[in-house]
């Protein structure tokens, strides 16, 4: 990797120079160096997966000997890191916190910690001061520094030229994809999610064996991101493929939960990586306060030493899966993680897909490996050179001793050995430093035997350095060993689209038995059975009468038919319970009827049964049966225009589950009694129907009753007809004026 050079822009000396400087020149000379400094030296991670702040901190801990031994105070590490990182102590400590095991931000933490380091999933759970916490490097860090002392990476001077630091860390695995990273620079940003170490190693090995491995194969090996907070990832292979190819996109994450039947509560045990518990609690709390979620009676944070847990107490009878599906839509319990794989390569930012990143890491890792092998090769060649010099004195050990003994000055020993045995200065220095006890044939022969093995090792190293395939084989072997040693099962569970059940965003409705009442003037009551036990006498306005009354449940939906040939629908739960002694809700106002519109029938429905009908009787003597399914709607529509035919005024409407008897009375005092099954079914709501009652031109139907109400009319049975249309029979009770008030 090339050294980075900082350029210092000359500052204009006078106000005139500043005023006369074009804006483009100002941006180029003053602003751009700052931009590049932020991008290259601060915000964007490099191919080793680290930003400079991470790298300086970890390298400082490595040089402090924290790979082994006891932990040290975090304050000590922060202070030592300032030799490489001239930022404030708190900025350095915050960097350290995120890399610790205690913070839980990484799948594979780099720092073994003791003390309170806050939590990645909490905004308010603060970390303790550095004087209270202790840290050391995790054993996993051995894979970060392998070969760093063998010139595996380039070392550069620190900011004050008092020591050196690595430009990159020679990571033996693609840490850039294993550790999540986020950075906001100037004009660009980077957001890299974490992937499972085992899957990343498998995908990298596949690319090492076949550089042309396609994205489909990589997707099979490296399925999707994996986050330290676990949760569930809504898997879309096409979407994942786009991220792998372009380095941009987003993934949907949702919480994982279990339902505790014994305590009737939902325990949320994992949440999306991109949210916090405070955001979730606030969102849930707002929904509960606003009455949008009625199932939840209490919610609390139960995080303790055993791990993460957010508890929701729910009402009896609540479907936990349906509730959670609604919470996923309304709260951060489901959130997205935006991917933007911007990585510095050779000092320049590049947005890359997963395969391109792995190819770049392989190139980087091969370079580290070759530098390390060249270091070993140099050391072995130096040793071989010394041993060859030692071999020359084997021919005449007495001569070497004589030269040393007869040399008067110490400074002349090395030159005399060089002359006497025709060896160079390095070999002569080595021989001169051999202890007197080792100047024997056995010792020297033993050392010379190493020459053969050294020559073989050198030949092997040179072969690897010159062979790309052998280098890749070594890297693949290292990755396989890392996978076996540090690999973990996936933390984030994958769920597929076909496994997701969509739940409508409806509020929880508490269910209980109710009694509903509708009056002719449009007053509607919903009364609990308990209230009715105290008093069942209904209060009505003067002259008003009850036209509908039935038992149902609070979760039912009401269908209201009006004299304007329209239908209105509403949830029964939308109405407050009242008492029999109250007038109730005025339906035309509650459901926003048109002017002069009044209800003629109300029916509570828990389902739209295709075998059930609504029977309409019109003034012109016609009637029709419409299946109740004609009023079912996919959306929560309040108003249905054209509920039935408006060609003749409506007299009455009846809900039919099984065939019923209907008594129709004309203004001439005649009536017919027919079975509802005689009336043909029409699927079109606005059908005018068929003739039921044969009327003269000036006559019309004035009333119609059904079921038990027919018994109030004396002689009704004499009006029974088995065919339609039928002529009316004089009804004695109507002719005499009896029961006139009971006609609706």
Contact 54, 99 (CB under 8 A): yes
Give the contacts of 24 (CB within 8 A, at least 6 positions apart): none
Q: For residues 591 and 120, give the distance between their C-alpha atoms in angstroms, rounded to a whole number.
A: 49
Spatial distance between the Cα atoms of 225 and 192, rounded to a whole number of angstroms: 10
Does residue 725 have a cis peptide bond before it, meaning omega lies within 30 degrees of 0?
A: yes
Q: Find the distance separating the first CA and the last CA of the chain, reported in whole Å.
A: 95
Q: Is 513 helix (H, G, I), strand (E, B) or coil?
A: strand
Question: What is the Cα–Cα distance from 396 to 412, expressed in whole angstroms?
Answer: 20
Is the Cβ–Cβ distance between 133 and 114 less than 8 Å?
A: yes
632, two tokens: 């079912």
Backbone angles phi, psi at 30, to 5 degrees: -105, -40
CA atoms within 13 A on the CB side of 735: 10
How wide is the angle at C-alpha 170 spanned by C-alphas 167 and 174, nearest 5°?
Answer: 115
C-alpha distances (whole Å) from 433 to each of 180, 386, 388, 443, 445 are 53, 12, 16, 14, 17
d(CA 111, CA 134): 10
Q: Which helix (H) or strand (E) holds 197?
A: helix 197-209
Q: Phi and psi of 729, rounded to 5°?
A: -115, 140
Quick one: tokens of 265?
A: 């509560």
Do the Cβ atoms of 550 and 581 come closer than 8 Å?
Answer: no
Closest C-alpha to 623, from 688, 677, 671, 670: 688
* Spatial CA neighbour of 51 closest among 59, 61, 41: 41
Classify residue 117 by its DSSP letter.
Answer: B
Joined tokens for residue 223: 């399925």
| Euclidean distance between CA atoms 93 and 110, whole angstroms | 14
Nearest-5° Cα angle at 68, 65 to 74? 65
- The vertex-655 CA angle with 654 and 661, nearest 5°, equals 60
Q: Is 132 in the active site? A: yes
DSSP state of 31: I
Q: Which of 31, 132, 159, 496 is catalytic?
A: 132
Question: What are the residues whose beta carbons fall under 8 Å from the beta carbon of 286, sequence distance 6 or more?
Answer: none
Q: Which tokens in the block code for residue 44?
A: 């964007």
Nearest alpha-carbon partner for 639 in 534, 562, 731: 562
Structure tokens, 70? 């006891």
Tokens of 287: 């929904």
β pairing state of 726-727 and 693-694: parallel
| Tokens linked to 562 | 């009006």
Residues marked active site are found at 132
């Amino acid at each position: 990797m090339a050294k980075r050079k900082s350029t210092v822009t000359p500052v204009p000396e006078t106000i005139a120079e500043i005023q006369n400087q074009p804006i483009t020149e100002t941006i180029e000379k003053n602003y751009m160096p700052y931009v590049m400094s932020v991008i290259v030296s601060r915000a964007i991670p490099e191919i080793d997966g680290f930003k400079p702040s991470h790298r300086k901190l970890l390298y400082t801990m490595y040089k402090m000997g924290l790979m082994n031994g006891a932990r040290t105070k975090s304050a000590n590490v922060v202070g030592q890191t300032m030799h490489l990182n001239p930022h404030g102590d708190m900025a350095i400590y915050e960097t350290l916190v995120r890399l610790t095991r205690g913070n839980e931000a990484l799948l594979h933490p780099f720092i073994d910690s003791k003390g309170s380091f806050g939590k990645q999933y909490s905004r308010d759970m603060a970390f303790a001061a550095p004087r209270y916490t202790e840290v050391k490097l995790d054993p996993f860090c051995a894979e970060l520094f392998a070969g760093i002392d063998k010139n595996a990476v380039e070392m550069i001077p620190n900011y004050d030229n008092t020591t050196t630091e690595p430009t990159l860390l020679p990571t033996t695995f693609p840490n850039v994809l294993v550790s999540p990273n986020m950075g906001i620079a100037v004009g660009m940003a980077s957001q890299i999610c974490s992937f499972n170490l085992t899957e990343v190693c498998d995908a990298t090995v596949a690319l090492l064996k076949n550089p042309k491995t396609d994205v489909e194969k990589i997707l099979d090996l490296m399925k999707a991101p994996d986050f330290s907070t676990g949760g569930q990832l809504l898997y879309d292979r096409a979407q994942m493929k786009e991220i792998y190819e372009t380095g941009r996109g987003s993934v949907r994450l949702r919480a994982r939960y279990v339902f505790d039947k014994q305590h009737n509560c939902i325990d949320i045990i994992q949440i999306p990586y991109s949210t916090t518990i405070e955001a979730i609690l606030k969102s849930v709390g707002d929904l509960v306060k606003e009455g949008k979620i009625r199932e939840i009676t209490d919610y609390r944070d139960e995080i303790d030493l055993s791990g993460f847990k957010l508890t929701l107490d729910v009402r009896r009878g609540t479907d936990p899966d349906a509730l959670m599906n609604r919470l996923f839509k309304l709260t951060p319990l489901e959130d997205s993680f935006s991917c933007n794989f911007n990585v510095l390569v050779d000092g320049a930012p590049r947005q890359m897909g997963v395969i391109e990143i792995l190819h770049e890491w392989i190139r980087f890792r091969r370079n580290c490996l070759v530098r390390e092998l060249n270091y070993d090769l140099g050391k072995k060649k130096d040793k071989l050179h010394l041993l060859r010099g030692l071999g020359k004195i084997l021919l005449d050990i007495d001569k070497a001793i004589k030269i040393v003994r007869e040399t008067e000055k110490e400074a002349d020993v090395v030159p005399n050995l060089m002359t006497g045995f025709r060896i160079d200065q390095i070999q002569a220095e080595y021989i001169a430093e051999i202890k007197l006890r080792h100047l024997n044939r056995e010792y020297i022969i033993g050392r010379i035997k190493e020459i053969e093995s050294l020559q073989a090792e050198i030949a092997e190293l040179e072969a690897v350095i010159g062979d790309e395939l052998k280098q890749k084989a070594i890297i693949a072997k290292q990755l396989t060993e890392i996978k076996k040693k540090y690999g973990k099962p996936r933390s984030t569970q994958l769920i597929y689209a076909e496994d997701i059940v969509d739940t409508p965003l409806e509020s929880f409705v508490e269910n209980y038995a109710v009694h509903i009442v509708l009056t002719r003037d449009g007053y509607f009551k919903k009364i609990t059975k308990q209230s009715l036990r105290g008093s069942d006498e209904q209060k009505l306005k003067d002259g008003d009468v009850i036209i509908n009354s039935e038992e149902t449940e609070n979760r039912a939906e009401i269908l209201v038919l009006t004299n304007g040939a329209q239908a209105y629908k509403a949830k029964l739960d939308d109405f407050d319970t009242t008492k029999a002694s109250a007038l109730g809700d005025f339906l035309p106002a509650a459901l926003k009827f048109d002017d002069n519109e009044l209800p003629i029938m109300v029916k509570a429905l828990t389902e739209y049964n295709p075998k059930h009908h609504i029977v309409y009787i019109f003034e012109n003597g016609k009637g029709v049966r419409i299946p109740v399914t004609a009023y079912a709607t996919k959306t929560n529509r309040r108003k249905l225009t054209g509920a039935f035919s408006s060609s003749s005024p409506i007299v009455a409407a009846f809900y039919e589950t099984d065939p019923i008897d209907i008594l129709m009375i004309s203004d001439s005092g005649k009536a017919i009694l027919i079975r509802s099954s005689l009336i043909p079914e029409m699927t079109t709501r606005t059908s005018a129907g068929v003739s039921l009652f044969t009327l003269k031109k000036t006559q019309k139907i004035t009333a119609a009753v059904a079921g038990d109400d027919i018994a109030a009319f004396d002689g009704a049975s004499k009006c029974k007809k088995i065919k339609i249309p039928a002529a009316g029979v004089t009804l004695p009770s109507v002719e005499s004026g009896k029961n006139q008030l009971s006609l609706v």
